[in-house]
Every structure is written in C-alpha cells, then in structure tokens.
Structure 1
Amino acid sequence: MTQFLFIRHGKHGGPEGVLLGRSDAAGLSEEGREQIRRLGFFVARPQVDLIYTSPRRRCLETATELAIALDAPVEADVALDEVDYGTWTGRSFDDLAHDSAWTAWNDQRDVVRIPDGERMRDVQIRVLRYLQCASAVHPDARIAVVTHAEVIRAAMLAERGLSLRQWADIDVEPGSVWLMERTAPTVEAVAS
C-alpha cells in the first residue's frame, strides 16, 4: 500500500487577497519557510521515501525545505500543478466576488469551466491518475505530495465520495497535511 501525505505549500510572500494561480510571482515568505521546517519534523517519522511537487515556485520551495528535514529526493510533476485559473489569475478576491462567472464556478464546480482555464473535474481526474500511477510505480512507499489547496480538495473529495460542489467542506490551510492510502491496482492476464 502506498501512503501519500498531501501537503499544501507554506504561506507565500505574495500579495494578500490575490489569486496567484499558475503565476510564479511569489515564493515562500519567511513565515512559510518556518512553517514548513516545523512540519518537516512532524512528518519525518516514519521515513518519507520521496517528495513529488507541483512545478510552481511556492511548492518547489516548500518541497526543498521538506527535503532537508526528510532526507528525501524531490521530483516535480505537472499532474500536481495548480488549477489553471485562466483570466482570473492575478485578480483580487474582492474583484472576483463581483464576477458572475466566479460565483457560478463556486456554486457548480463540477460543471463550470474557468474562463480560459480548467474545469475542476479535469483537475480531479489528473490528480487521481497521478495517484494511480504513483502507487503502481512506488508500491509500499511513503510519498510526500506538495501541491495546492484545490488539487488537495479535489483528491480528498473523491476519496470521501463527495461532490466537487462540497469543496467548502474541506479546509486546506497553508502547510496542512492530508493522508491518503492507495493500493496499486493488479493487472490480470486474460487468455486469448
């Protein structure tokens, strides 16, 4: 059985109240670095075998901090990338609150596509495929997965059998850890 420790990146040093999305404008703040250093000691036992991370700067910096405490290799994987927020990237949450598309997306995340961006269902599919592949490649490993709030939510909602519309039921704070276990699927030969 593969054990996944989903970890949201630490607090970033970018502007507060802005949807960073796939922007690499902000890395970790000093508070975020300290948050992850403390977290590393918490998740170090039992041993973490490897760390997979989103390619975004705030996640790469989080994974690098964790690698020091966990003595584990780091590998970036695009399957763990932030949601593509399209035209919303860089906008303030105050501004988005007046956008009818933002309201529709938050009410119906299972069907609404972000303008020039992704559907949450597609995000969920890519993270679930990642889990399937990683558990097949690394059976019996303990893997730290550094990613973003909505990617973690998508995985946890699927794990709990909940709808993407129930996103608010799962609060994913910076530096939080979520445990998920997966058994690699078996493949049986079929006689022809």
Structure 2
Amino acid sequence: MATVILVRHGRTTANATGLLAGRAEGIDLDQVGRDQAVLTGVRLAAVPLVGVVSSPLERCQQTAQLILDRQAGTPSTTVDPDLIECDYGQWQGRALRDLASEDLWPMVQSQPSAVVFPGGESMAGMQARSVAAIRRHDAAFHAEYGPGAVWVAVSHGDIIKSILADALGMHLDLFQRINIGPASVSIVHYGVSRPTVHATNTTAGDLSWLSNGIVAGDAPVGGGAGQKAP
C-alpha cells in the first residue's frame, strides 16, 4: 500500500488561548502556527507527494496550502469531511480549564471509547470514520500511483491520535498516551499484513528518505538497517 504522512494543523488563535475550537468556523492559524506549517512544508519539500487530503476546517486547509506551496510538483488536493475535528457538541468553544471540572472529563482521559460528548459525537465514532477515510484514500493512491506513493492527510489532534492508535493496534482507551503537537508529522504505511508506524509527532528532521516511499515486508528481527537515503 501507499504511505500516509499525518500532519496536524499549526497552532491557532484558539489553541493559544486555551479554547476547545471543535468545528467552529473562522479559527485561523496564528503567526506561530503559520511559521510551524511553513517549517513542515519545508521538511516535506524533499518528498514528491502524490496528494494532499485535508479536513474542511480553515486551519487545516491553511496548513495544507503552506505545504503545497513548497512542492515542486502538483499533488492532487481533496477536502474530506470525514477528517474533520471531533464534534464536541456543547463542549465546543469552552475553555479547557473549565472543561477539566466536568464530570465527563475523567472518562475522556481514561475511557474515551465510552465517551459521547453532550450534543455531539462519540469518540469511538470519531475514530471509526477517520480511520475508514485514511484507509480509503490510501488504497486509492496505491491503486493510482503504486506502492511507492506518499501522500499527506492534514487533520486534528484527536483525529490523528485515533488513527495512530488503530495503526499501533492500541485500544482507543489508550490513545491519550499519544501526543500530537501543532504541525507535527507522523508516518504510517499500511502494509499487506499490518500497518507499520514509522514516526509520531515529529517537528524536525530530514524526510528525504521518504522520496521513494516505503516498501514493507516482514518486520526485521533486531530492527534492521533503517531506511535508505535517496
């Protein structure tokens, strides 16, 4: 299969003030977030992407554009509503410090698989739709461009954490052990027998080794020799 680079959007005005933006419109990258997304675009410039798929929210589309601006080629671009932020319902727009006193907060931390946000979505439903979307796009890019294809999905922190938990074979109740920072890069290859996770939450480092994609076979006993330079 192809290889997906999961990119969280850069920092937003809501992130900077401690608000849970959710699906609210008009939440843009702040200057720090734009700088973060530019750096991610520079890192990815060495990787010939075949496509960029984004959440429909502004902060993700802004991040996606800053990545596309630094690509030598012309990757396909798609907006997928299944990669949108979790529907936090009545929690949306509230301060995180206030949400921490809600009765539901401890369950969000320790048993997210049982969480349904009041007036919103379940976290299990969030994971199901986002994982299905990533696997659907990955299969399509593989079919069109072959197993060396590399593409980017720009989405949100909880979405990416849930996708990584699935790829790692972790129960959703453990996904809070994963941290995903603004404009961070995580890498998953969906192999024939299982997914392999090649990076999580990176904000620096050379990615040119991805220029020829990832060819996955049996897991090397002892760890192997690593990826070949381009």
TM over 0.5: yes
Correspondent of 2:154 among 141, 146, 152: 146
Correspondence 1:96 to 2:99:
yes
- The higher-RCO structure (CA 8 Å, 6+ apart) is 1
In 2, are the aligned partners of 1:24 and 1:58 still within 8 Å (CA)?
Answer: no
SS in 2 for 1:60: helix
Report the counterpart of residue 130 of structure 1 in structure 2: 133
Correspondence 1:177 to 2:185:
yes
Report the counterpart of residue 10 of structure 2 in structure 1: 10
Report the counterpart of residue 165 of structure 1 in structure 2: 173
What is the rounded CA distance, in whole Å, between the counterparts of 1:122 and 1:97 in structure 2? 22
SS in 1 for 2:130: helix
What is the rounded CA distance, in whole Å, between the counterparts of 2:23 and 2:48 in structure 1? 31
Correspondence 1:36 to 2:37:
yes
Alignment map for 1:56-135 (pairs within 5 Å): 56-70=57-71, 71=73, 72-135=75-138
Q: Which moved more, 1:59-68 or 1:23-32?
A: 23-32
Q: Which moved more, 1:51-60 or 1:111-120?
A: 111-120
SS in 1 for 2:70: helix
Q: Which moved more, 1:156-165 or 1:97-106?
A: 97-106
Across the aligned residues of Structure 1 and Structure 2, the Cα RMSD in angstroms comes to 1.6
SS in 2 for 1:110: helix
Query: How far is the alpha carbon of 1:53 from its aligned partner?
Result: 0.3
Amino acid at match of 1:152: I
Deviation sequence 1:12-63 (CA, Å, 0-9, x none): 1235111000012320111111111111111222211110000011001111
In 2, are the aligned partners of 1:131 and 1:182 still within 8 Å (CA)?
Answer: no
Correspondence 1:27 to 2:28:
yes
Which 4+ residue blocks in structure 1 deviate beyond 3 angstroms? none
- TM-score scaled by length of structure 2: 0.76
Query: How far is the alpha carbon of 1:154 from its aligned partner?
Result: 0.3
What is the rounded CA distance, in whole Å, between the counterparts of 1:147 and 1:125 in structure 2? 15
SS in 2 for 1:158: helix
Deviation sequence 1:104-135 (CA, Å, 0-9, x none): 22221011211111111111111221122112
Amino acid at match of 1:77: D
What is the rounded CA distance, in whole Å, between the counterparts of 1:117 and 1:102 in structure 2? 15
What is the rounded CA distance, in whole Å, between the counterparts of 2:76 and 2:29 in structure 1? 20
Query: How far is the alpha carbon of 1:184 from its aligned partner?
Result: 7.2
In 1, are the aligned partners of 2:53 and 2:77 still within 8 Å (CA)?
Answer: yes
Q: What runs of 5+ residues in structure 2 fail to find an aligned partner? A: 194-230
- TM-score scaled by length of structure 1: 0.90
Query: How far is the alpha carbon of 1:167 from its aligned partner?
Result: 2.2
What is the rounded CA distance, in whole Å, between the counterparts of 1:19 and 1:13 in structure 2? 11
Deviation sequence 1:89-116 (CA, Å, 0-9, x none): 0010111011102222222101121111
SS in 2 for 1:144: strand
